[in-house]
Chains A and B, each alone.
Chain A
Amino acid sequence: TQLLEQSPQFLSIQEGENLTVYCNSSSVFSSLQWYRQEPGEGPVLLVTVVTGGEVKKLKRLTFQFGDARKDSSLHITAAQPGDTGLYLCAGARAGTALIFGKGTTLSVSS
């Protein structure tokens, strides 16, 4: 079974703190996508990483794809209340299906 494990499952921090969310698997992925999902809404794409060791930045968010393409991390610098939400990683292997992790629920309080 292909599993994507996300950690931590829940994270509650103060505004201004830094945080890292991890997405790990024993399987190699061709690409990995990070989404953010609000309650009752669809996943909204943040970034896609495709190359081992790749680092992408989106304002205060930094995404890294592991060298072996089995894991990824999302680092948020100086978190703000607007960053509150559910962060999902999803990996693609052979075929068309995306495999999702369970997500990390982030709460940033002011």
Chain B
Amino acid sequence: EPEVTQTPSHQVTQMGQEVILRCVPISNHLYFYWYRQILGQKVEFLVSFYNNEISEKSEIFDDQFSVERPDGSNFTLKIRSTKLEDSAMYFCASSPATSTRETQYFGPGTRLLVL
């Protein structure tokens, strides 16, 4: 069964450094998402992406964040200058369409630790 994959599984970085989290969505899906989950808290929406542009973003997704689909398979989340509070699990998700009735399928996540 097709799956969303994410790399790396874990990332440790120093505050102020840039990180790029990578995702390979399910191959025939057209809509891509990033969510984060701070330890012990709810999963929170960051951004959705379709047709090479951002469809929707949350208040969390400020100027320090950017997303890109550099080729036909990868979807990336970049944090330009990491802060301690960026430490969280980051999940990529994809769906075949953007209907609110459409299921989103999640990857296994990248655990980011900012020191």
Q: How many residues of A contact B (CB 8 A)?
A: 27
CA distance A81 to B103 in the complex (A): 27
Query: Is the CB–CB distance between A98 and B45 below 8 Å?
Result: yes
Check B75 for interface membership: any CB of A closer than 8 A: no
Contact of B101 among A30, A43, A100 (CB under 8 A): A30
- Tell me how many residue pairs across A and B have CB atoms closer than 8 Å: 68
Cβ-neighbour of B43 out of A41, A43, A50, A92 (below 8 A): A43
CA distance A101 to B104 in the complex (A): 15
Q: Which residues of A contact B (CB under 8 A)?
A: 29-31, 33, 35, 40-45, 48, 50, 88, 90, 92-103
User: Chain A binding site: helix, strand, loop or mixed by DSSP?
Assistant: loop
A99 vs B56: C-alpha distance in the bound complex, in angstroms? Answer: 13
Q: Are B101 and A96 in contact (CB under 8 A)?
A: no
| Binding stretch for chain A, among B12-20, B63-71, B107-115 | B107-115
Q: Which of A40, A41, A96 is in CB contact (< 8 Å) with B33?
A: A96
Which residue of A has the minimal Cβ distance to B92? Answer: A42
- Which chain A residues border B107 with CB–CB below 8 Å? 42
Give the Cβ gap from A47 to chain B, nearest Cβ, in Å: 9
